[in-house]
A and B are shown apart, each in its own frame.
Chain A
Amino acid sequence: MFKVLCLISSIFLISCSSKDPKEMTSKEKTPVQPKETISMESKLLANEQESNLVTEIKFDRQKANISGKAREQLKDLHRKASKKGKIEEIKVISWGDQEYPSVHEKKLSEVQVKLVEERNATLENYLKTIEMDAEIETISMAERPSTLAKWFSSDDARIKKSLETAGIPNTDTTVKVPGKASKSIVIFIMEEE
């Protein structure tokens, strides 16, 4: 950690000492095209489920249909999983266009709740076309778990708690990064022998 800090300090100094950025106007910075990678929160959740087969699906705002790219992502994940063995379960965790409700809010608006249901249904229906046998569990991040669910430590409650521990923002968080709004996490869990 310490050696890395020193190296990056020196790199910083070297780069700052190079040409004045004003002189480089002829070479405009290429706009950022962020590469879609799996967030740490999704990876931490997948590890808790003892799976390394995880992907994130992005939805357009207010829409529940999945893009061609998302289908390819799911098919690719299914291919990797099938090579390993039998898929026991698929977990689908979806957000609306807002972050997870805080302890004060408890539940998002009916519009958001319905949107999440539709997104979960779309993903479930598509997954059933590529995987016939595995059980598919859907979880809505538009509402917090009920007291009963918490008492009995249901899957829904445990996954939501894990995601909060991993650091997902909620509707009260000031800095909503790393945001999960308009996204879904899909985890494939393999059968143990």
Chain B
Amino acid sequence: MNFIGIRKGLLKKKKVIIPLAFFGLLLAIRLMVQPIIYKQLNTFLSQFSPVITFHIEDLDINLLRGAYSFESVTGKLKENNHQFLTIEKVDTSIAWREIFKGKIVTDIVVTSLNLSYSKELKEALAKTPKKEDAKEAKDKLFPVEVVRLDIKNSILKMDNFPAFTKIEGRITNLLADKKNPLSFLNLKATAFGHSVLKIAGHLKTLEEPIAWSIDTELQGFDLTAANQFLKEKVPLTFTKGKLDVYAEAKSEEGVIEGYVKPFMKNVDIMKAEENLKGAKHWFIEVIAAVGNLLLRTSDKKSVATLIPFTMDKSGVHVDKGEALSKAIQHGFEQKLNPGIEDRLKLE
């Protein structure tokens, strides 16, 4: 008997059988597990909140890549079935680069998120479940810790107006520790169809509440592009003008402070027919106090100012006095410098 030949034959079969068996097992697991998880997730997402419901159209599991993805995710308000959110895909995968550092963590990539933020949604979110319920939802959808979040090709609508499109962003080091306490945020978007918004920020997720600081820059914003958005809110229209905005904000121990530094160039404003007096909102009151001065501008005008603000549980507090003082200073004394001032940073 040719024992060596028989042994070689067996070995060859093993080289084929074992991988086949392995892939077969993976496939079997995938086929069995996928529908069970899909059903459980959608049940949970429809019940965890009294005011909003989410639905995942398709769940895909890729065991070889160590990934799973939710496709065609929608979010609706239960009260009127109004859809406020669609997401083409949420892909969660093992962060292989971290495996070599001894960590099993995941990256999430959200593609084509389309969120419509409205007063309706804001009110619904105020009624949504406690923090613990939101955490439960997060743990159910993303059971393995997340170290990085990417957002691609997304849109934020405000009152149904596509205010920010082509949103691309990334947050890294979400699993901060004492040695590396900072998480890093980058965001870029197209504002109102043409100008570019850039945000760079840091977060300290170990602190309670989370501390953060952000720098924001928006350049070359055409004010006439905002007319459609503003027209139902304030009785004035920009007929021309460009706006650059630089802003910094910081939040520590729940108190937010910051400033907005707008630079407006070649602005012309036209008043609508409505009476400005008697309006209720504080910003309308400021415009009403100016009153007939709305139409006095004739020459090419540019103005800049720095508007400091703070925000706490009682609301937003704007230092209008300093804002006015800086505007006059810029107009007649010393120009304000365009750009971020780098004075509000996390320690």
Contacts and interface: CB of A to CB of B under 8 A. Distances in A.
A66 to B, nearest CB: 21
Interface in B189-231: 196, 198, 200-202, 215, 217, 219, 226, 229-230
Interface string B276-290: 000000011011001
A174 interface: no
A137 interface: no
B334 A44 contact: no
B260 interface: yes
Contacts of A4: 245, 260, 262, 307
Interface string A1-16: 1111111111111111
Interface residues of A, number: 45
B253 interface: no
Interface residues of B, number: 68
Contacts of B68: none
B43 interface: no
B115 interface: no
B294 interface: yes
Interface stretch (A35-43, A70-78, A122-130): A35-43
Contacts of B81: none
A7 B323 contact: yes
Interface stretch (B29-37, B85-93, B122-130, B176-184): B176-184
Contact of A13 (B243, B287, B328): B287
A149 B286 CA distance: 57
A29 B304 CA distance: 14
B331 interface: yes
Interface in B300-347: 301, 303, 305, 307, 316, 318, 320, 323-324, 327-328, 330-335, 337-342, 345
A14 B285 CA distance: 13
Interface in B231-247: 233-234, 236, 243, 245
Contacts of B294: 13
B332 A29 contact: yes
Interface stretch (A47-55, A102-110, A140-148, A180-188): A47-55
A37 B217 CA distance: 13
Given A10-B287, A85-B179, 10 more contacts: A6-B284, A8-B243, A9-B234, A9-B236, A12-B269, A13-B294, A29-B334, A37-B342, A44-B186, A44-B188
A27 interface: yes
Contacts of B180: 50, 190, 192-193
A7 B293 contact: no
B131 interface: no
Interface string A65-103: 000000000000000000001000000000000000000
Given A13-B290, A40-B215, A167-B198, A7 B283 contact: yes
A12 B339 contact: no
B46 interface: no
B47 interface: no
29 contacts: A1-B163, A4-B260, A6-B234, A7-B323, A8-B262, A8-B264, A8-B307, A10-B287, A12-B267, A12-B269, A13-B269, A24-B332, A27-B332, A29-B333, A32-B335, A34-B337, A34-B339, A35-B337, A35-B339, A37-B340, A38-B340, A38-B342, A40-B198, A40-B215, A47-B186, A47-B200, A177-B219, A192-B179, A192-B180
A111 interface: no
Contacts of B345: 52
B84 to A, nearest CB: 19
Given A11-B327, A15-B324, A44-B200, A165 B188 contact: yes
Contacts of B170: 48
Interface in B13-51: none
Interface of A: 1-19, 21, 24, 27, 29-30, 32, 34-35, 37-40, 43-44, 47-48, 50, 52, 85, 165-167, 177, 190, 192-193
Nearest to B297: A16
A12 B263 CA distance: 10
B172 interface: yes
Interface of B: 101, 158, 163, 168, 170, 172-173, 179-180, 182, 184-186, 188, 196, 198, 200-202, 215, 217, 219, 226, 229-230, 233-234, 236, 243, 245, 260, 262, 264, 267, 269, 283-284, 286-287, 290, 293-294, 296-297, 301, 303, 305, 307, 316, 318, 320, 323-324, 327-328, 330-335, 337-342, 345
Contacts of A10: 283, 286-287, 290
B104 to A, nearest CB: 16
A40 B200 contact: yes
A143 B100 CA distance: 33
B335 A30 contact: yes
Nearest to A162: B186
